[in-house]
Amino acid sequence: MGSLTEDPAFRATTFVVIDFETTTPTGFPAQPIEVAALALRCEDGAWKETGRSASLIRPPAFAPVTPADTAQTGLTAEQLQQAPTPAQALGALDRRLAVGTPYLLVAQHAATEAGIIHHQAEHCPTLARTDLLDTIPLAKHLIPGLANYKLDTLLAHFGIPQPADRHRAPADVDVTAKVFLHLISAAENDPQLLDLAALVKTAGRTAKANRPIQADLFDA
């Protein structure tokens, strides 16, 4: 391994790969119906899984599971009737984040996950204050010239088999984690990605809760 994974800040960070499945009601933001997370640390030159979590989530009445949602995920309204509420599921995940530990969330198209978390921030305040890394800009930097940077395209590029339950959060987290590790391996040979700060500059996304509040432009 090269300089990136030898950087003390990189090695001190726990990378939490996260994925949501959602239903998207008209006039409302996407509502989570499943979440999965996988925590990884780079220790002594090797990656170690330090935690794993997955839960179904019961959507609110204004965001019922539609046939299109079921076609995409395989999840049905009946399966989610007795699932934990967003407060229960996301609260449980939030409590797994240890105070004082540096975390970065990792997601494919992190804007989606960032938006979901932001709208559920009352249930997961620690998660909502955790910044993100997006595999898409990182892949664009490291593997220029692909036709697109969708997850399926990156899986094919790296020779990662499609999971049978693709579009379920636990399966998507597993394959996104594999893509992330392949990208970090490629980053070891990139002179522009020598430390965590450079990685964040290339592929980071600041959590909305951490963004500065702009003064009103029309203040007298």
- Give the 3-state secondary structure of residue 89: helix
Q: How do residues 16-55 score in pLDDT, each as one tens digit?
A: 999 999 999 999 999 999 999 999 999 988 999 999 999 9
pLDDT at residue 45, as a whole number: 81
CATH tag, 3-210: 3.30.420.10
- C-alpha 104/C-alpha 133 separation (Å) is 7
pLDDT digits (tens, 9 = 90+) for 130-161: 999 999 999 999 999 999 999 999 999 999 99
Q: List pLDDT tens digits, range 157-216.
A: 999 999 999 999 999 999 999 999 999 999 999 999 999 999 999 999 999 999 887 555
Identity at 130, one-letter amino acid code: T
Over residues 91-118, mean pLDDT = 96
- Name the more confident of 219 and 40: 40
pLDDT at 218 over 90: no
- Mean pLDDT value of segment 88-100: 95
- What pLDDT is attached to residue 212? 83
CA dihedral sign of residues 65, 67, 68, 70: positive
Alpha-carbon distances, residue 169 vs 108, 125, 192 (angstroms): 12, 21, 32
Each residue's pLDDT tens digit, 61-84: 999 999 999 999 999 999 999 999
- Top-confidence residue, 39 or 218: 39
CB atoms within 10 A of CB 217: 5
**What is the structure's pLDDT at 44?**
84
Q: What tokens appear for 147 in the block?
A: 């036709």
Nearest Cα residue to 205 out of 99, 121, 134:
134
pLDDT score recorded for residue 214: 57
In angstroms, what CA-CA distances link 118 with 79, 125, 204?
A: 25, 9, 16
At 220 the pLDDT is 39
What average pLDDT does this structure show over 97-108? 95
